[in-house]
Amino acid sequence: MVLDPKRIDWDKLKSEILGQEHFIDKYGDCCKEISLGRLPHINPSGKYYARFGRPGRDSVSPGSYGPYMKFEKWPPTENIITREEMQKDYEWMTSLKQQAEKHGLYVRPSDNDDRDIRVGMIVKRRWES
51 φ/ψ sector (left φ>0, alpha ψ -120 to 50, else beta): alpha
Output DSSP code: residue 108. Answer: E
State the pLDDT at residue 110: 87
Handedness of CA 86, 89, 90, 91 (dihedral sign): positive
Q: What is the CA radius of gyration of the chain?
A: 17
In this prediction, the residues of the chain whose per-residue pLDDT falls under 50 are 51-76
CA distance 97 to 100: 5
Contact between 27 and 128 (Cβ < 8 Å): no
State the pLDDT at residue 99: 95
Beta strand pairing call for 106-109 and 30-38 = unpaired
The whole-model pTM stands at 0.73
